[in-house]
Amino acid sequence: MKAPDVNTSPYHRFLGLTLNRFEEGLAEVGLPFRPEFLRADGSDWIHGGILSALIDIAGDYAVWSKFGVGVPTIDLRIDYLRPARAGNLSAVGRVVKAGRTVSIADIELRDEVLELVAVGRGLYASPKV
């Protein structure tokens, strides 16, 4: 399956997202650190809104790897395990189910020292065949 081009999305360009792995049932996205991602002046914690976006995108690309097209997110659960400190982030999405109507992906988000900082589970609309 040909990897999608992350740079066709204005929001992905805005964030500076990279697609680091793209295999059947798995996708890994990376996010090089920018100070604009911090949650508060004087803090070195990254904002939760950055983490949830990365998790959603990694799950979406994982499902894409099964069907060859982008899929709308139906719902998403995110659990924040610990603060993500300033640094590069990476999120790995894995497909749990690729169904006829809906698909599910599990996502793990790690910080620069590979500590697990958040996990997600997303439901995506499978493409109509």
Cβ distance to its own copies smaller for residue 25 or 83: 83
Structure tokens at 37: 């991602």
Binders of its own copies among 37-56, rule CB under 8 A? 37-41, 47-50, 52-54, 56
Cβ distance to its own copies smaller for residue 1 or 81: 81
Helices (H), 29-124: 48-67
SS3 content of the chain, % helix, strand, coil (to 5): 25, 40, 35
Cβ distance to its own copies smaller for residue 32 or 49: 49
Binders of its own copies among 95-114, rule CB under 8 A? 96-97, 101-102, 104
The nearest distance, CB 38 to its own copies, in angstroms, is: 4
Query: Is residue 9 a contact residue for its own copies (CB under 8 A)?
Result: yes
Q: Which of 1, 3, 69, 74 binds its own copies (CB under 8 A)?
A: 74
**Is the sign of the CA dihedral 89, 26, 2, 58 positive or negative?**
negative
Size of site (CB under 8 A) for its own copies? 45
Q: Which of 85, 115, 119, 127 binds its own copies (CB under 8 A)?
A: 119
| 123 strand-pairing partners | 75, 104
Task: Report yes or no: 3 and 19 within 8 Å, Cβ to Cβ.
Answer: yes
Closest CA to 122 of 69, 102, 111, 30: 102
